[in-house]
A and B are shown apart, each in its own frame.
Chain A
Amino acid sequence: MPVSFLLELGCEEIPDWMIGTALEDLKAQFQKLIDASSLGGTVAWVDGTPRRLVLRADNLIDRQPDSEEVAMGPPMAAGPGAATGFAKKMGVSVDDLQTVKSAKGEYFSYTRQIKGRPTAEIIAEAIPGIVQKIYFPKTMYWTGKGGFRFIRPIRWIVALLGADVVPFEIAGVKSGNISQGHRRLGASSITVTIENYVEELRKNYVLVLAAERRARIRAGLKKLSVPVKDDPKLLETLTFITEYPTPILGGFDPQYLELPSEVLVTVMRHHQKYFSCENADGTLAPNFVAVMNTDGDPDGLVRQGNERVLRARFNDAKFFYGVDQQKPLRDRVEDLGKVTFQAKLGSYLEKAHRIVDLVQELGGSKNAERAALLCKTDLTTEMVKEFTDLQGVVGGLYAKAQGEPEGVWRAIYDHYKPLSMEDSVPATQDGLIVALADKLDTLRGCFEVGLMPTGSKDPFALRRAAQGVVKILAEGKQDFDIKALAGENAYLREFLLDRVRYYFREVRGYKYDEVNAVLASSSNSLRDVEERLTALKAVRPTENFEPLAASFKRIQNILKQADFKSGAPLDESLLEDGPEKELHAAFVQVREQAKGAAYQPALEAAATLRPAVDKFFDKVMVNVPDEKLRQNRLTLLNGLLTGFSTIADFSEIVVSS
């Protein structure tokens, strides 16, 4: 009869963001175990809360099927002595041996009958190893030096196969059938079965299934009198930081709404994990939603506590705002001289001046120059010292309040963007230029003084800066030569190109060889690179393209082997009738056709060369003894290669055989 298996690893609170991947890992490892041990069945589900990782498998057989293992011995020709030796090695008598015939002759063999082991035994033996191998970014030991390592201490284990406990031990904790409820609302000892596990825990204020907790939060939010701002990421965090989540609505004094909403939202979301609320017109409402890890707040104590904390935080922010306005950003430029950017690269004042210079170099507007000068001044404000992730944003808001033109304050506001691959680029042209200049300065400076990233170490976040440059150029449609932007530094040029490859491959989904082909051509503006990639991608699946690419690779090899140096122009009189003349004619015609055409038609035209190229290689010998003739043919091939590799270097295309 098929049986089910239930595993609950009871832990102290696991960080919310690690639970999902840990469960997936557990699932994969357990499925591998039952497959490898022929136990049948599948992992039905994995789920968890901060205090438990749970796995349920169904349709397992309770005992592994019996199996046979055949061991090959010496050839029969080796005689009885060899047979005795083999039998001894197998631990049996000669009478137990069999013989098998193979192409090489007849051999002794022994077939060992392997009795299937009980499923419980196999699981009991494997689980400690599986648990040990669950991946976590950082682990700890708690039973003593050299002891078991896990994300947090394991305090209890439920392991049931059908009605029976599967006995094993991890870090001194024996498996059993006793679980624990919510820390304060549930029982500390709950006897469970596979069938009643989820329900028993629910009775003890633990919703084991994340979907149930998520739904409970959503339902709670809907019941509130104020619309809550949608925030899927925060919802996930709260789902995995609670066992029995209950949202409550709190309020704050509307006077705080005078503070920039960015500041209010940062305090609520990042510091307090609150949802913010909005009015019908989308403006911020003086409310928040906290999600408790308990069933309710009948006396309003939790609400009051949270309101009190938020009030203190907002008061701080208000105080900082007031203090900061006493000295406008334009009077803070000189103060940047006291803020170190990097010992070898000087202060932020020096950096600000360099950004201004770069903005000029990039042809930025007067507004962009002004923004560049002011963009780092918010580092001297109390607000940014307190809420560092609001750097730039605070500067923009202050600049606006202090009467700077819109072009200026928007550029300041956006100049750290994009902060990640998912983040958008600055919204305005001035913003794009200032953001580009800031990142370029950091990159050029750091590479110049040898602070490039090594391995996983990237203390100045140069990869992010370079990625930002690429995103700004590509998505902000800025026509700069990326190699020129890198300046003199060859390492930086390669570093940037590496990010370009990464961007077009991983973010935009182009194939790596297409990206290499385009980058090997003369294109250095990312907008142009993207246009070429689009064309290449469109033409690639057509019948003639890949074979032509293969021929181009061949041409390249021939030219290389011949150590070809272009000299005299093609002498048409030397062309032989037949394939050679035909190729030349096709070449001339296609060249005319492609002249001035957009990339895609040009590539399509190039692809039509294929039959002529194929025929040429089929019938014409390039390396003929006649020096003049040979040089002329190489010149023809070189003309083809250089004439049609301007859009993309075809020889970089990897042709599937």
Chain B
Amino acid sequence: MDSFQQTLFKLKQYWAQRGAIIQEPYDVEVGAGTMCPETFLRVLGPKPYRVAYVQPSRRPADGRYGENPNRLYKHQQLQVILKPAPEDVLEQYLGSLEAIGIDLTKHDIKFEEDNWESPTLGAWGIGWQVMLDGMEITQFTYFQQCGGVDLEVVPAEITYGLERLTAFLQGVESVYDIEWTTGFKYSDVRLADEQQFSVYNFEMADVATLWKLFDLHEGECQRLIDAYAEYPDKSRFPVLPTYDQVLKCSNLFNLLDARGAISVTERVGVIGRVRKLAVGVANLWVAQQQEVAA
């Protein structure tokens, strides 16, 4: 039986052998691997790209104080971007499952319709949730639009839910019982994280402060977006730091949401504010890439 980290090594190895860059996690809080610049920005424009990375993804509202065996505030995704999507991409994906020891002739695999959409990022795609013996293990998406921009080259995004997958492989009922490596369980590594962040996210996060931070990051982001037009040397304009501000806003939105501070109708408005920034940065990125290529 492979440990959590051995399974990870194998998946990374598998995609490395297929020409993917193996990146490390992005160091700003994100709700999903899709939001990392390695996906959100790289899928824009005509340049091919192949990358795989593990991304710890924060979903404050999903926290359960470490008491639910399947639900986590922060879970680990393995995110694979293949741009353009190779013709045999689904076969390659199935091969990755075999590489971590799943004999697919003995299991039931189904691709069920599930079109991914992120209103905050102005992004959507067409795809499936991949079901293994009745359990969703992967989200597979052909991106169509990102930051409100139609993609020139269609990438495939493969997102593995690592805790679910390894709990399945190890035959344990609770993610906390996953063996991370010999002598250490998932709970040894992450339980305190889950408990403390649940307390903070649900009980102690100060709503007024969060709103203040949201406004500050939003302002900084917009200031930078507006500065691009007049900036003399486009190739050195800080598009990437501008995008970090979008991520900050997105995470603060998720925190406010978990805190119950956003009503259903306000939601639409706040999502719109974040999307406006995301769309702004996506357009800057495309413009800058064209500038650099010219």
| Chain A residues within CB distance 8 Å of chain B | 12-13, 15-16, 50, 138, 140-145, 152-153, 155, 183-185, 188, 241-242, 272, 274, 290, 292-294, 297-299, 301-302, 304-306, 308-312, 315-316, 319, 338, 340, 342-343
Contact = CB atoms under 8 A, between A and B. Distances in A.
Interface in B94-112: 94, 104-112
B13 interface: no
Q: How large is the interface on B (under 10, 10 to 19, 20 to 34, 35 or more residues)?
A: 35 or more
Nearest to A155: B87
B154 A184 contact: no
30 contacts: A12-B90, A50-B111, A138-B126, A140-B126, A140-B144, A141-B144, A142-B142, A142-B154, A144-B84, A144-B153, A144-B154, A145-B150, A153-B87, A185-B105, A294-B108, A299-B106, A302-B133, A304-B133, A305-B132, A305-B133, A305-B135, A308-B171, A312-B173, A316-B70, A338-B260, A340-B263, A340-B264, A342-B264, A343-B263, A343-B264
A238 B245 CA distance: 45
Contacts of B85: 142
A356 to B, nearest CB: 22
Nearest to A345: B265
A116 B142 CA distance: 44
B193 interface: no
Given A140-B144, A343-B265, A13 B128 contact: yes
A420 to B, nearest CB: 21
B168 interface: yes
A144 B144 CA distance: 9
B68 A316 contact: yes
A185 B70 CA distance: 32
A316 B68 CA distance: 8
A184 B109 CA distance: 9
B106 A301 contact: yes
A117 B125 CA distance: 42
Contacts of A293: 108-110
Nearest to B265: A343
B134 A305 contact: yes
Interface string B142-161: 10100000111110000000
Nearest to A246: B108
B206 interface: no
A342 B105 contact: no
Contacts of B113: 13, 15-16
Contacts of B153: 144-145
Nearest to A151: B126
Contacts of B150: 145
Contacts of A142: 85, 142, 154
Query: In the complex, which of the residues B70, B107, B113, B142 has the most CB atoms of chain A within 10 Å of its own CB atom?
Result: B113
Nearest to A295: B105
A298 B85 CA distance: 35
A272 B153 CA distance: 34
A281 B260 CA distance: 45
B159 to A, nearest CB: 17
Query: In the complex, which of the residues B109, B126, B173, B264 has the most CB atoms of chain A within 10 Å of its own CB atom?
Result: B126
B232 to A, nearest CB: 31
B241 interface: no
B154 A143 contact: yes
A184 B105 contact: yes
B110 A311 contact: no
A155 B85 CA distance: 13
Contacts of B128: 13
Contact of A301 (B94, B133, B152, B266): B133
A49 B82 CA distance: 27
Given A142-B142, A312-B69, A302 B173 contact: no
Contacts of A308: 133, 135, 168, 171, 173
B115 interface: yes
Contacts of B107: 294, 301-302, 305
B104 A13 contact: no
Given A143-B154, A145-B152, A294-B108, A305 B84 contact: no
B111 A12 contact: yes
Given A183-B94, A302-B106, 15 more contacts: A16-B113, A140-B125, A140-B142, A141-B154, A142-B85, A144-B153, A145-B150, A184-B105, A185-B105, A299-B106, A304-B133, A305-B134, A305-B168, A309-B135, A316-B70
